A and B are shown apart, each in its own frame.
Chain A
Amino acid sequence: MTNAVTLTRVCKSFDTVRAVEELSLQIPQGEIFGLLGPNGAGKTTTIRMLLGILMPDSGTIEILGKSSCREIADQVGFLPEERGLFKRMVIIDIIKFFAELKGIPPRRAVPLADMWLERFELKGWRDKKVEELSKGMQQKVQFITTILHEPKLVFLDEPFSGLDPVNTNLIKDVMLELVKNGTTIVFSTHMMEQAEKLCDALCLMNNGRNVLQGSLAEVKGRFGRNRCRISYEGDARFLKDSALVSRYDDYGQYVEIQPADGVTAQALLAQAISQVTVRSFDITEPSLNEIFINVVTGGAGTGGNHE
């Protein structure tokens, strides 16, 4: 599989702040790629460099086979984190303007705009001014301007922030459709549940560095040993001191257990059954949320687990 975007040892600093340091990453074509990380990790700076709004201090960027986004700006869509539209412009004019900026003449843009407005339930707002719309509606309009020109590569900076579940689903569906048609989507978020549902691959950034990268399965595999979730009747405290267990978390209704190296879930279950009445026994993967917190608070991701 070819990469839509390749970053090689990219650095960018502002004055004394090193926003991005030695960042190398590959974004595969036709997938949803998550750019994750805490606030101030360098996500927005990275996206701005990919878009050619900022120039890297050093390192190389390859984007859709070109060295600069400037050359293929018409094939790229961008939804910034800080949303913004021309407040006093009419919705349909704004969509026409952004489409024309991407090389789509108005006569082609208008039918597409009407189609999208209908789909996002904004049909009645077509000729209203931006300032009359609610925040969520404005966000949907901005999303339309991001994808109307059928870009090959889309950057979405926190696309779901501030949206209700219905609209979140609407946007998520469109994202999945786009990917099905071959579009590459790069989206940044710190909502790990969303990332977990949508991402094919991801990169976790912290302090301007790429601390963890790979497909979702790879990343989870690296943090890997499966966790067991047991709910039971009886006294399960014996598990805390069991040689089979390397980590024990009691959540009241259930306990979450990390088996020790080389211990299978089977063995753990056998021991549990021998002591308590097991009501349910699940083998779960570590959530992205856990990995995120782990890596960000525990230093660089080595792939191991930190006790």
Chain B
Amino acid sequence: MNKSWVLIKREFLIRVKTKGFIIGTLALPVLLVVLMGIQIAMQSVGAREKKTLALMDLTGRVAPAYQIYMNENYQDDQKIPLYTFETVTAAPESLAAVTSRLNTLVQEEKLNGLIILPADIFQTSQFELHARNISNMEFNATLERSISSVVSDLRLAESGLDRELVRKLTQRMDLKTFKVSETGTKEESGMVAFWISYAMMLILYMALIFYGQFVMRGVYEDKNSRVMEVVLSSARADQLMAGKIIGIGGAGLLQFLIWAIFIALASAYGMVMMNYFAPGAGQIPLPTVSVSVYLAFFVYFVLGYFIYATLYATLGSLVNDEADAQSLQWPVTMLIVLGFLFMFFILNNPNSTLAVILSLIPFFTPLLMFLRISVGAAPMWQVALSVVLMIASIFALIWLTGRIFRVGLLMYGKKPNLPEVLKWIRYS
């Protein structure tokens, strides 16, 4: 135990002390702050940006109503309309010449854009935008929405129907979702819950691969520098493996902890800051995730890490360089990717027998059982069983791979094939 501790300490310190670790750990929060800053800046700039548009109304009926609609619905904080329109008309024979003149103005940036409402807009429901930037999704959506609304109103008026009545009758439905769980029932947005689970799963997925490969690299680097042999003369192979896995895992966990603290701080103060820099930029509702989901995330991260780090450490003991490692590691990486691919199936059928079975397979449990917990589909006994199964398979894996690991570390030269590896299990 004492030797394991010495080995763990070395692995942990040598990683935590590196520039790469410190930069990597700080980079994410800095990146988040920068992204948040950019978003705030964009929102405050975007909110104040005025646009001057040429409005060529070939029907002669839409433009007045449209201008009124836009002036009423799109204003900045000081109630000044965001869009200024210069209405243009053109006779059919001069249409091409006028269009080309206006396009030139757009190109010279004297106009932000040219909107053409064709004479047959009531039949075709199509209109044109000529602009330098036609990929501003928000602006495009605004145009579509507003023109649709104005044109629809005009159609209704012409057919003699009561506009208000029609609106009332054709009102869109709003879905309100209520989450039912052990702690009670409360209103919650289904989409937000999904995106949070999705993000956390993505983190789990990347962390398992990333830290697993970290362990693998650590093993073959030490094997390559021939230092393993000396260590093996003082400590057992399983102690060595424990040192690698726990030491690197500890460094990873520390990194996560720093990020978690940062995110907690950011969500606590982020809103305050945002409102300070960009008043009225919008209240983004912060999603709430129950403590049990966080707990499940932590438990499955740790257990999943142990399973995959053991496998990756064994791979590391078999290879001598990155190229060998790349060609040997796909079965292990595949297991993680496969778990990730099952996600969509599980999400649609979280309680099906297949979902239960898949989420109980220890290699998939970290991702799939976590997903089922976060959508509230996993009963307690399944969660408990999955944890027991994972712990059991960790021990089985350590026993099995420990033997390969010990032999592999002393084998230099060509990378072994599967029958050779199986033989090692027997004669080590």
Q: Given contacts A53-B229, A80-B226, A84-B227, is CB(A101)–CB(B234) below 8 Å? A: yes
In the complex with contacts A15-B423, A54-B410, A101-B7, A85-B227 CB distance below 8 A: yes
A80:B229 contact, CB within 8 angstroms? yes
Kindly state the separation between the CA atoms of A246 and B329 in the bound complex, as whole angstroms: 65
Closest-by-CB residue of B relative to A54 is B410
A113–B32 Cα distance when bound, in Å, is 46
Judge whether A88 and B230 touch: CB under 8 Å.
no
Quick check: A88 and B3 within 8 Å, CB to CB?
Answer: no
Interface bits A83-94 vs B (CB < 8 Å: 1, else 0): 111111100000
Chain A positions 54-69 with a Cβ under 8 Å from a chain B Cβ = 54-55, 69
| Beta-carbon contact of B235 and A101 below 8 Å | yes
Are the CB atoms of A98 and B423 closer together than 8 Å? Answer: no
Q: Which residue of B lies closest to A89 (CB)?
A: B14
Contact of B225 with A by CB under 8 A? yes
Q: Which residues of A contact B236 (CB under 8 A)?
A: 70
Residues of A within 8 A of B7 (CB): 101
Q: How large is the interface on B (under 10, 10 to 19, 20 to 34, 35 or more residues)?
A: 20 to 34
B14–A53 contact, CB under 8 A?
no
List the B side residues contacting A97 at CB < 8 Å: 6, 10
Beta-carbon contact of A82 and B231 below 8 Å: no
* CB < 8 Å neighbour of B14 from A15, A79, A88, A142: A88
Q: How far is the CA of A231 from the CA of B170 in the complex (A)?
A: 124
Q: Is there a chain B Cβ closer than 8 Å to A48's Cβ?
A: yes
**Residues of A contacting B222 with CB < 8 Å?**
86
In the complex with contacts A15-B423, A54-B410, A86-B230 CB distance below 8 A:
no
Assembled-state Cα–Cα distance A89/B233 (Å): 20
Q: Tell me if A85 and B225 are in contact (CB < 8 A).
A: yes
Chain B residue nearest to A103 in the complex (CB): B2
Task: Say whether A53 contacts B234, CB under 8 Å.
Answer: no
In Å, the complex CA distance between A101 and B3 comes to 6
Q: Mark B214-233, 1 if CB is under 8 A from A, else 0.
A: 00000000100111111111
List residues of chain B with CB within 8 A of the CB of A82.
226, 229
**Which residue numbers of A lie inside 8 Å of B, CB to CB?**
15, 48, 51-55, 69-70, 73-74, 76, 78-80, 82-89, 97-98, 100-103, 142, 145
Residues of B within 8 A of A (CB): 2-3, 6-7, 10, 14, 18, 222, 225-236, 410, 423, 428
Apart from A52-B233, A53-B233, A98-B234: 20 A-B pairs, beta carbons within 8 A: A15-B423, A48-B410, A53-B229, A54-B410, A73-B233, A74-B234, A78-B230, A78-B233, A79-B230, A84-B226, A84-B228, A84-B229, A85-B225, A86-B14, A86-B225, A87-B225, A88-B18, A97-B6, A101-B235, A145-B230
Ordered by A's residue number, 22 sampled pairs between the chains whose C-beta atoms are within 8 Å are A51-B232, A53-B233, A53-B410, A55-B428, A69-B233, A70-B236, A73-B234, A74-B234, A78-B234, A82-B226, A84-B225, A84-B228, A85-B227, A86-B225, A88-B14, A89-B14, A98-B234, A101-B7, A101-B231, A103-B2, A142-B230, A145-B230
